[in-house]
Structure formats: structure tokens, C-alpha cells
Amino acid sequence: MKYWRKPLDMEQNRDSLGRVVIIEDRCKGCQFCITFCPRGVLRLSEKFNKKGYHYPEVIDASKCVNCTFCQVICPDFAIYVVDDNEDQQPPMTASEKEI
Ligand code: SF4
Ligand code: SF4
């Protein structure tokens, strides 16, 4: 998308990033997380877990925007997302620290 102007604080704000963690042996292969991920981060692995189901795998980790939808929709708590931004935030300014 092309914006008509560049936001003045664009350098201070970064895209939200998430790191997906899949607990393979909890998965029952329903594919909800794959179907409803808005960024197409996941696909079904060709491998089987201990229960005999195919489980999701990450195709492109850099696309994850940490929306946590895969985590919320999983009926078996087999997938969750860790905020990967914490060490990437710019240092707080003096005025922010005072608040
Ligand atoms: S957190 Fe959102 S973008 Fe990332 S894998 Fe889950 S559903 Fe997709
Ligand atoms: S939503 Fe959960 S149980 Fe279903 S495929 Fe994804 S990780 Fe597996």
C-alpha cells in the first residue's frame, strides 16, 4: 500500500513480531490454525505426531504479526505465540521514563 505521507514517528514504531511455538504431540490436525492465520504463516507438516496426526509447521516466521489468533482458536492448546519484540523496542526517552 502506498501512503500519501510518511508518519513522523515511523522510525520509533516497529511491526509487531511473533514467534510461533507448536506443541506437536498435542495437535489433532484440525488445521484451524492454518486455515485462519491471516498471514499464511503455517502449513500442514508431512510428518506425524505421536497420536498419528499431521501437525502444523511454520512456512515463513517473518510473516507472523503476533495476532495470537492461532493460539486462541486451537481447541487443544497445541500452539502459542511469544512476543518477539521485547528486545527490539527502542530505548525509552527520559520523558517516557518519568511518566
Ligand atoms: S500469531 Fe497470527 S500471524 Fe502469527 S501464526 Fe498465529 S495466526 Fe498467524
Ligand atoms: S488448531 Fe491446534 S489442534 Fe488444530 S491443527 Fe492447529 S495446532 Fe493442531
CATH of the domain at 77: 3.30.70.20
Q: Is the pLDDT of residue 73 over 80?
A: yes
Q: Which residues, other chains included, contact 88 with Cβ-Cβ below 8 Å and sequence gap of 6+?
A: 14, 17
34 falls within a domain: yes
What pLDDT, on a 0 to 100 scale, did the predictor assign at position 84?
82
**Residue ranges making up the domain that contains 53:** 18-86
* Contact indicator for 81, 71 with CB cutoff of 8 Å: yes
**d(Cα 86, Cα 80) in Å, to the nearest integer?**
17
Give domain status of residue 10, yes or no: no
- Quick check: 95 pLDDT over 70? no
Q: Specify the pLDDT at position 76.
A: 97
Whether 42 is in a domain gets the answer yes
Q: Is residue 44 part of a domain?
A: yes
Grid cell, residue 71, equals 493460539
The pick from 21, 23, 25, 31 for probing ligand 2's pocket by mutation, whose C-beta has the most ligand atoms within 8 angstroms, reads 31
Instruction: Give me the mean pLDDT over the 76-99 stretch.
Output: 71
Number of folded domains that form the chain:
1
Ligand 1 atom closest to Cα of 79? Answer: 6
Whether residue 93 lies inside any domain: the answer is: no
Question: Above 80 in pLDDT, residue 17?
Answer: yes
The distance from CA 29 to its chain's CA centroid, rounded to whole angstroms, is 19
